[in-house]
């Protein structure tokens, strides 16, 4: 079964093809340079750029892969959470294709897709503890199947990636700060004393805003700040905050594996600390390839494939769901695509 994935939830326009669970090709057009002029994503500009790029990117995807539109068996698109105007562009594009080609449409939850992307290069093991750390979200999930995710914990303020980006902005680093801080930390020592906030409780939630305030205060006080050491210290603090709650969750939930995904999963130090946490409990640690940690459409096409296999599709009345609203479980369980695929 050949599944097209369309991703337009934030500032990356992306399309990809997955055939029988394996990636055929993935294309991403990033708007990061445009938004960096403003120090963050400007929603109106993001929607316009998606509108400009999604069609040509789809044409290029077909050309590069030697595939005709009519070869596609199902069309998956990110339905949320994300910027509403941006989501609407991708979902409308996917609906038009579904209608024109007479193929099923599958609305995909962007957050779940980040974690399911681990399946592009690993065998997915269930039940799993899923750790998602991106620019907008920090979540712990108990995952029983590709379509059964229970939220165990979330951030009460900033997301992990947001903390990286806001501190990076204060340090005058290019936007987004996360990857730059990761690189700068490679030559540094974690010698600055940063707090590990929101640890002295017994819940599975996160908080990063206190760390952000403390980091900015320290950076301001040290006129001779060693930027490499400071970045290494920051990596360590964020990695610890994530690892401590991950270990706590593993004490309570009998997971078969730990999955780690989202933009922050590309961070060398954070990745290592979470891997160590899983290893201490003898559990496999599944992460997507680095190129599929950030926003991409391979994860959408792959999730669409998993859902289609389970017979779950969406109607043309599929709604786009902005950040902050719960995504409904409104799949129609109507067809067995495996049987119907040509």
Q: Which does 264 bind (CB under 5 to 8 A by kind): ligand KG4, Zn ion, none?
A: ligand KG4
The edge-to-edge listing of strands for the beta sheet with 285-286 is: 148-154, 138-145, 128-133, 257-261, 285-286
Measured from the CB atom, the residue of 81 and 153 that comes closer to ligand KG4 is: 81
Q: Which does 304 bind (CB under 5 to 8 A by kind): ligand KG4, Zn ion, none?
A: none
Q: In whole angstroms, what is the distance from residue 288 CA to residue 110 CA?
A: 15
Residues in contact with ligand KG4 by the rule CB under 6 A: 10, 114, 134-136, 161, 164-165, 176-179, 182, 262-264, 266-267, 294-295
Check: CB of residue 216 under 8 Å from CB of residue 227. Answer: no
**CB 114, min distance to Zn ion, A:** 5
Q: Which does 17 bind (CB under 5 to 8 A by kind): ligand KG4, Zn ion, none?
A: none
Radius of gyration of the chain (CA): 20
**CB 114, min distance to ligand KG4, A:** 6
Measured from the CB atom, the residue of 31 and 134 that comes closer to Zn ion is: 134
Measured from the CB atom, the residue of 124 and 266 that comes closer to ligand KG4 is: 266
Site for Zn ion in 130-149 (CB under 5 A): 134
Measured from the CB atom, the residue of 235 and 313 that comes closer to ligand KG4 is: 235
**CB 65, min distance to ligand KG4, A:** 24
Measured from the CB atom, the residue of 87 and 215 that comes closer to Zn ion is: 87
**CB 295, min distance to Zn ion, A:** 4
**CB 137, min distance to Zn ion, A:** 8
Measured from the CB atom, the residue of 114 and 248 that comes closer to ligand KG4 is: 114
Q: Which does 165 bind (CB under 5 to 8 A by kind): Zn ion, ligand KG4, none?
A: ligand KG4
Q: In whole angstroms, what is the distance from residue 152 CA to residue 167 CA?
A: 27
**CB 20, min distance to ligand KG4, A:** 26
Which structure tokens are listed for 95? Answer: 């609906």
Task: Choose, by CB under 5 A, the member of 115, 267, 295, 320 that binds Zn ion.
Answer: 295
Q: In whole angstroms, what is the distance from residue 228 CA to residue 182 CA?
A: 10
Q: Point out which residues bind Zn ion (CB under 5 A).
A: 134, 295
């Amino acid at each position: 079964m050949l599944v097209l994935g369309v991703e337009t939830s934030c500032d990356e326009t992306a399309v990809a093809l997955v055939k029988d669970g394996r990636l055929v090709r993935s294309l991403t057009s990033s708007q990061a340079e445009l938004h960096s002029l403003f120090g963050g994503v400007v929603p109106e500009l993001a929607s316009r750029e998606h509108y400009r790029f999604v069609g040509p990117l789809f044409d290029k995807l077909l050309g590069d892969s030697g595939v005709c539109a009519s070869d596609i068996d199902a069309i998956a698109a990110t339905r949320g959470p994300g910027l509403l105007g941006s989501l609407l562009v991708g979902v409308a594009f996917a609906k038009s294709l579904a209608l024109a080609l007479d193929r099923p449409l599958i609305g995909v939850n962007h957050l779940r897709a980040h974690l399911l992307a681990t399946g592009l290069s690993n065998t997915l093991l269930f039940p799993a503890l899923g750790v998602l750390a991106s620019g907008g979200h920090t979540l712990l999930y108990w995952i029983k199947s590709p379509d059964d995710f229970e939220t165990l914990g979330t951030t009460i303020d900033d997301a992990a990636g947001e903390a990286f980006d806001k501190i990076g902005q204060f340090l005058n680093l290019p936007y987004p700060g996360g990857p730059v801080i990761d690189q700068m930390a490679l030559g540094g020592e974690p010698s600055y004393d940063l707090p590990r906030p929101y640890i002295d409780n017994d819940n599975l939630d996160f908080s990063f805003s206190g760390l952000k305030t403390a980091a900015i205060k320290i950076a301001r006080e040290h006129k001779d700040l060693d930027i490499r050491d400071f970045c290494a210290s920051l990596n360590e603090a964020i990695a610890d905050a994530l690892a401590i709650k991950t270990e706590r969750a593993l004490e309570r939930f009998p997971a078969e594996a730990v999955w780690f995904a989202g933009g922050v999963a590309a961070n060398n130090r954070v990745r290592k600390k979470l891997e160590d946490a899983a290893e201490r409990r003898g559990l496999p640690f599944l992460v997507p390839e680095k190129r599929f940690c950030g926003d991409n459409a391979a994860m959408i096409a792959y999730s669409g494939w998993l859902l289609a296999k389970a017979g779950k599709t969406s109607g043309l009345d599929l709604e786009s769901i902005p950040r902050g609203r719960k995504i409904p479980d409104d799949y129609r369980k109507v067809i067995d695509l495996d049987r119907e695929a040509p």
